Structures are given as C-alpha cells and as structure tokens.
C-alpha cells in the first residue's frame, strides 16, 4: 500500500481513538462522577462489573475497534519516529516487518480475549 494511504489510515485511527477512548474513559470514570453527585460509589474495574460489560456485544465490538485503532496508530507512529533516524534500508524493512507482526499478534490475542469473555456465560 502507498505510504500516503497508510498515513491517512493513521489519522483516521487517531479519530477513532478520540471517540472510543473518550467513551472508554467516560465509562471508567462515570461512577466517580456520579458518586460526587451523591450516588453510592461502585468500582468500575471490579471483576463482576467488568464481566457484565464484557458480555454485551456493543462493548465487545468497540473493544476490538479501539484495540485495532490504538495498535495501528501507535505502532505506525512509532515506525515513523524510527524511520526519521534514516536507518539502513535492510534495518528499515526489518523494523516495519517486526512492528507489523507484533501488531497482528497483539490484535489477535486481544480479540481472542474480548470474544472469549463475551462468550463466557458466568464467572
Ligand atoms: C485522542 C486520540 C489521538 C489523536 C486524535 C491522535 C492524533 C495524532 C496525529 C494527528 C498525529 C500526527 C500524525 C502526523 O502528522 O504524521 C499523531 C501521531 C502519533 N500518535 Fe497519536 N493521536 C491520538 C492518540 C494516540 C495514542 C493513544 C497513541 C499511543 C498508542 C498515539 C501515538 C502516536 C504516535 C507514536 C505518533 C507519531 C508521532 C510522530 O510522528 O512524531 N496517539 N497522533
Ligand atoms: C484510566 C485508564 C483506564 C482504565 C481504568 C481502563 C480499564 C479497562 C478495563 C477494566 C477494561 C476491561 C473491559 C471493561 O471492563 O470494560 C479495559 C479494556 C480495554 N482498554 Fe482500557 N482502561 C484505561 C485506559 C485505556 C487506554 C488509554 C487505552 C488505549 C489507548 C485503553 C484501551 C483498552 C482496550 C483496547 C480494551 C479492550 C482490550 C481487549 O478486550 O482485548 N484503555 N480497559
């Protein structure tokens, strides 16, 4: 794929992160905001609460989207930083290959976890 279209995907992934991470942070801090308004304080990372969210399709899908966007955006950005060092061509190729493989493995593992928990009936 041409470098310019990879860069456009990088910007697009940044926008996806902006929206989904915004929601993620809102969900993770919502209870503290509500508690400040007088509601009983619940822990958003309590195992039962995490499980209740993770069993809903909408959360499972957005986790996978955020995972993909953050991995692509972060690793492509890291690749750009490393390429600014004007490395030898072979080292550039190896770096790009390594980052691509690492990204794909992490994406596969994170997707597996999200789908596995979504399909788990009880903890
Ligand atoms: C609010 C969400 C985010 C937005 C809107 C955003 C947007 C951007 C933009 C516009 C660039 C510059 C691209 C360019 O000019 O080539 C950039 C670069 C970068 N971003 Fe993000 N980003 C976000 C979150 C993140 C996160 C969570 C990470 C870490 C996983 C990250 C890692 C990077 C890296 C490593 C670069 C490359 C820096 C460089 O080229 O010097 N960003 N981002
Ligand atoms: C205050 C900071 C954060 C807290 C407390 C937090 C907490 C959590 C928790 C508890 C989960 C499990 C799912 C759930 O309970 O809904 C989760 C999943 C996830 N978080 Fe965060 N998070 C934080 C920041 C971030 C940031 C900065 C990113 C990315 C830039 C991120 C990306 C993700 C992704 C991709 C998943 C899904 C992973 C998967 O299922 O494979 N989180 N987070």
Predicted confidence pLDDT, tens digits, the chain (123 residues): 688 999 999 999 999 999 999 999 999 998 888 888 888 888 889 999 999 999 999 999 999 999 999 999 999 999 999 999 999 999 999 999 999 999 999 999 999 999 999 999 887
CA distance 112 to 68: 13
Ligand 2 within 6 A of 50 CB?
yes
Ligand 1 atom with least separation from CA of 71: 30
CB neighbour list of residue 42: distance below 8 Å, 6 or more residues apart: 31, 49
Give me ligand 1 centre to Cα 29, in Å: 23
Ligand 2 within 6 A of 110 CB?
yes
Give me ligand 2 centre to Cα 49, in Å: 13
Q: Which domains can be identified in the chain, with CATH numbers?
A: 3-119 (1.20.1300)
pLDDT at 32: 84
Tokens of 115: 């789908």
Instruction: Give this prediction's pTM.
Output: 0.92
CB 73 within 8 A of CB 12: no
Tokens of 48: 């039962």
pLDDT at 52: 92
pLDDT at 26: 93
């Amino acid at each position: 794929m041409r470098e310019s279209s990879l860069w456009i995907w990088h910007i697009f992934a940044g926008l996806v992160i902006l929206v989904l991470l915004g929601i993620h942070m809102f969900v993770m801090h919502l209870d503290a905001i509500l508690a400040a308004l007088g509601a009983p304080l619940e822990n958003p990372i309590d195992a039962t609460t995490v499980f209740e969210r993770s069993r809903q399709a909408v959360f499972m899908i957005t986790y996978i989207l955020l995972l993909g966007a953050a991995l692509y955006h972060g690793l492509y950005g890291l690749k750009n930083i490393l390429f600014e060092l004007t490395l030898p061509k072979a080292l550039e190729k190896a770096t790009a290959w390594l980052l691509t493989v690492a990204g794909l493995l992490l994406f596969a593992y994170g997707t597996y976890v999200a789908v596995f928990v979504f399909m788990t009936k009880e903890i």
